[in-house]
């Protein structure tokens, strides 16, 4: 274990006029915000929000310069909180990380103790970031659907944006729990991988973004949607009576144009997912479950590893919708 050095490497995004300048810089420990826990970051990941945080039109970054990275995992090197000892493997994500406070694309980071999740045995820092914020949101979505009564024998469950982080992890969790999962994707060349992850059937993006009648045949016992746009209305009008969709994202657009009929004639529910504000106690519980009964199938396999110097392409790629599984960022791992 090493203590935090006076300077280290970090990937920084800085607004300069109308542009955002991005790249690896030497960063000073003295310029990190205050916090009780200092972490040597081993791994971070690339989430859709990270892509937005490094774009001038992204409307995500709240400070400049910003070290992006909305999640991180590594080892505690110093702690002013007695419940989190140096040497502990931990992760942190959510709250202000990588948005209004420096995030995970940094060899060292300082965070409030109340944001820290100690890693349970059975989940390495690399595996934790292979799940990352996207996978945590997928797990939240599965739990929300099950809390409302969804079970493996309820019927087929639809996952949209299945080649991406939230979608792919939701597919892998649901398949491992014995559900019949259908994957909607815009990428034909991902079909084999999605079947490998556990998809029983595949829908093309055309089908789930087409205009339709206010109500169509009742098909899905539940759904996980991180796409929004034209896809969420399709999901709502094809859910079975009493079923729910857990909605977390807008990769396909932020506008929602639907009718009230799925709600008032079929008792369908739209469950909003917000991973950012989940209280720390609940967050730690859910991470414990991600190591055990919510552990995604083939965890850590469907990843592309990049270093800090290779982040530009990954950040642009995720916003362009080219995700194929998760991008892992090797910070010091």
| Shortest separation between residue 279's beta carbon and ligand NAP, angstroms | 14
Strand (E) positions, the chain? 7-16, 19-28, 37-46, 71-79, 89-93, 108-111, 116-118, 157-159, 181-185, 199-204, 220-225, 239-247, 269-272, 303-307, 326-330
- Binding to ligand NAP (CB under 6 A) within 50-69 occurs at none
> Using the 8-state DSSP alphabet, how is residue 195 labeled?
H
State how far the alpha carbon of 150 is from the alpha carbons of 106, 119, 154, 291, in Å.
40, 28, 6, 21
Residue nearest ligand NAP, Cβ-based: 164
Regarding 284 and contact with ligand NAP (CB under 6 A), the answer is: no
329 touches ligand NAP (CB under 6 A): no
Q: What tokens were used for 222? A: 């539940």
Q: How far apart are CA 273 and CA 277, in angstroms?
A: 10
Among 106, 109, 141, 163, binds ligand NAP (CB under 6 A): 163
Spatial separation of the C-alpha atoms in residues 8 and 24, rounded to whole Å: 10
Residue 313 contacts ligand NAP per CB under 6 A? no
User: Considering the rule CB under 6 A, would residue 276 count as an interface residue with ligand NAP?
Assistant: yes
- Residues from 247 through 266 that contact ligand NAP (CB under 6 A): 248-252
- In the bound complex, what is the minimum distance in angstroms from residue 208's beta carbon to ligand NAP? 8
Among 114, 156, 242, 321, binds ligand NAP (CB under 6 A): 321
By CB under 6 A, tell whether 171 contacts ligand NAP. Answer: no
Burial of 311 (0-12, 13-18, 19+ CB in 10 A): buried
Question: Which of 35, 125, 165, 332 lies at the binding interface for ligand NAP (CB under 6 A)?
Answer: 165
What is 263-279 written as a DSSP string?
HHHH--EEEE--STT--
Stretch that binds ligand NAP, among 8-16, 111-119, 160-168, 308-316 (CB under 6 A): 160-168
Site residues (CB under 6 A) for ligand NAP?
47-49, 133-134, 137, 161-167, 185-187, 205, 226-227, 248-252, 273-276, 318, 321, 323
């Amino acid at each position: 274990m090493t203590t935090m050095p006076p300077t280290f490497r970090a990937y920084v995004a800085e607004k300069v006029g109308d542009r955002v300048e991005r790249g690896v810089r030497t960063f000073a420990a003295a310029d990190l915000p205050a916090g009780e826990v200092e972490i040597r970051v081993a791994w971070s990941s690339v989430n859709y929000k990270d892509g937005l945080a490094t774009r001038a039109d992204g409307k995500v970054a709240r400070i400049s310069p910003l070290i992006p990275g909305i999640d991180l995992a590594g080892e505690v090197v110093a702690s002013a909180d007695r419940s989190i000892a140096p040497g502990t493997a931990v992760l942190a994500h959510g709250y202000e990380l990588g948005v209004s406070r420096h995030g995970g694309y940094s060899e060292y980071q300082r965070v409030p103790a109340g944001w820290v999740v100690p890693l349970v045995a059975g989940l390495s820092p690399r595996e934790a970031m292979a799940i990352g914020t996207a996978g945590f949101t997928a797990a939240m979505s599965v739990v929300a659907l099950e809390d409302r009564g969804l079970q493996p024998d309820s019927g087929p469950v639809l996952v949209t944006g299945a080649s991406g982080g939230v979608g792919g992890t939701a597919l892998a969790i649901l398949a491992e729990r014995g559900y019949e999962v259908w994957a909607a994707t815009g990428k034909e060349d991902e079909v084999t991988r999605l079947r490998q992850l556990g998809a029983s059937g595949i829908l093309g993006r055309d089908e789930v973004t087409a205009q339709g009648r206010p109500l169509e045949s009742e098909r899905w016992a539940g759904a996980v949607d991180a796409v929004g746009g034209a896809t969420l209305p399709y999901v709502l009008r094809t859910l079975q009576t009493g079923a729910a969709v857990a909605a977390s994202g807008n990769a396909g657009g932020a506008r929602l144009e639907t009718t009230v009929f799925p709600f008032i004639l079929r008792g369908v529910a739209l469950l909003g997912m917000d991973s950012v504000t989940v209280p720390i106690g609940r967050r730690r519980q859910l991470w414990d479950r991600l190591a055990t009964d919510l552990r995604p199938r083939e965890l850590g396999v469907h990843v592309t590893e990049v270093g800090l110097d290779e982040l530009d392409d990954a950040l642009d790629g995720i916003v362009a919708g080219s995700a194929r599984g998760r991008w892992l960022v090797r910070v010091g791992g």
